[in-house]
Structure 1
Amino acid sequence: MSVLSAAILFDAILFDLDGVLVDSEGVSNVVLVRLMAEHGLIVSHAEFMARSVGKSFAALYSHLEADYGWTRPESFDAESDAALAESFLSVREVPGSAQTLAALREAGIPFAVASNSRRDRLDIKLQAAGLADAAGHSFDPSQVGGRGKPLPDLYLHAAAALGADIRRCLVIEDSPTGVWAGAAAGATVWGLLAGEHVHVGLDEQLTAAGATRLVHSHAELRQALGVENQAEMGKVTAG
């Protein structure tokens, strides 16, 4: 696919954040599993990761209460806020994500970030991963009345903010929750399996949720979009 054909096919590219642009899922997993253990709920890192990826914290805690009968104590939110804020300072990009954004910018293809993350956490993670220049086109549930994924509102809002027809947008997601949101909005959705949280069976889950294509790295994504040459040019220029 050439750069021209990619631009014709898609008015804009809409990215999830966690696990797609920044490798934050593992960081938050460690913090929350430790804090929950301190407050009486023991779950493995693998089990918690499978439950939490793509979900809002409200939905996650609701599921934990339903499945384990565990209700977080009053002090939990304050403790987790402080611990997560500190841990997110060490978040790094999913390998190649900065190159992908730079290549899209060079090719003239608009993009935005649509994340279930809280606004302050979203900004911390973008800054820590060296992607702060994407913050100007980043959106969170507070901007759509709290109606985050799996509802379509966040992706519809992001497309409208870019002046793009959602039916001509490509959503890049790493969780069934996010894929459902993108598909419900009317976008084409691809699954990206590049973050450290990827587990056995996730590819099948993304496909079942509505992803029409799977890619396994940002390099493969750039190639599929026809912008790999722009990424290489950026590396040479930067060097």
Structure 2
Amino acid sequence: MNNPTDNSSSNTTYRLVVLDMAGTTVADGGLVDRAFERAAERLGVEPGSADHAAKLRYVRDTMGESKISVFRHLFGTEEAARQANTAFEEAYGELVDGGLIAEVPGARKAIEELRAAGRTVVLSTGFARVTQDAILDALGWRDLVELTLCPADAGGRGRPYPDMVLAALLRTGAVDDVRHVAVAGDTAYDMLSGSRAGAGVVAGVLTGAHDREALSANGATDVLGSVAELPGLLDARERRA
């Protein structure tokens, strides 16, 4: 753990980097849609129906939000939401085990570059821990970063709340000022989470769910083609500082 009062990396302003997973560092090939369809069918939502289409559209619109929160909205009761969430996580895990997942091109290299520059890197997700671990195992990323976080690790509140970003700061001790945190994600909810936490950099990437307009409208300080550009962005900002 880094000492927040240690000035040995004084030239490294953004010493904590919190990265989203699906859509930002991880390419899941539409697995969220497929897992939701399986989960919805188990709860009696007829495939091809108007209800199914509306629910799937809401899932897409709220990419990045904690999945249990999404299901609470869609299914109304806590019991139904938990049933849907369990079914979704099981379906997603089955699909991940089928090999239908990969890194976003250049993501691992970017993470390694960030760490080589003295930055602490945290991977965060709106999925449950069991699903996050399945993704990490599928990619061989268990030891790639210092810390991984899911909503349960931050008191149960996922994005768009700032909790996971702040949990990353508290757990790593990497910085003593939220302005020295950089956040990157592919959704409006990632941008809201980072900006509400007070992060100095909130970078949107165009490899996932939301477009440039949505990212900018919800707090992005920068919009990048992909996470592969993040090390260069942070280096450039620090040179200008």
Normalising by the smaller structure, the TM-score range is 0.7 to 0.9
User: Is the helix fraction higher in 1 or 2?
Assistant: 1
Q: Which amino acid aligns with 1:82?
A: E
Aligned counterpart for 1:129 among listed residues 131, 139, 143: 139
Matched, 1:26 2:57: no
* Paired residue total: 216
Q: CA deviation at 1:143?
A: 2.0
Q: Which amino acid aligns with 2:153?
A: Q
**1:162-177, aligned counterparts within 5 Å?**
162-163=172-173, 164=175, 165-177=177-189
- Aligned equivalents of 2:164 and 2:81: distance in 1? 30
Secondary structure, in 3 states, of the residue corresponding to 1:43? helix
Aligned counterpart for 1:190 among listed residues 203, 222, 231: 203
Aligned counterpart for 2:92 among listed residues 56, 59, 84: 84
In the superposition, the TM-score normalised over structure 2's length comes to 0.77
Matched, 1:148 2:158: yes
In the superposition, the TM-score normalised over structure 1's length comes to 0.78
Secondary structure, in 3 states, of the residue corresponding to 1:134? coil
Q: CA deviation at 1:48?
A: 4.9
After superposition, the CA RMSD in angstroms is: 2.9
Secondary structure, in 3 states, of the residue corresponding to 1:9? coil
Paired residues of 2:106 and 2:227 also in contact (CA < 8 A):
yes
Q: Compare 20-29 and 183-192 and name the one that shifted more.
A: 20-29
Structure 2 equivalent of residue 212 of structure 1: 221
**1:92-131, aligned counterparts within 5 Å?**
92-131=102-141
Q: Which amino acid aligns with 1:24?
A: D
- Aligned equivalents of 1:135 and 1:111: distance in 2? 6
Q: Which amino acid aligns with 2:207?
A: A
Spell out, residue by residue over 1:12-71, the C-alpha distance to the aligned partner (whole angstroms, 9 max, x if none): 2111122111123711211212442462242179735532411112221233247xx9x9
- Aligned equivalents of 2:81 and 2:162: distance in 1? 31
- Aligned equivalents of 2:110 and 2:205: distance in 1? 13
| Identity among equivalent pairs (%) | 28
Unaligned 5+ segments in structure 2 are: 1-8, 46-50, 237-241
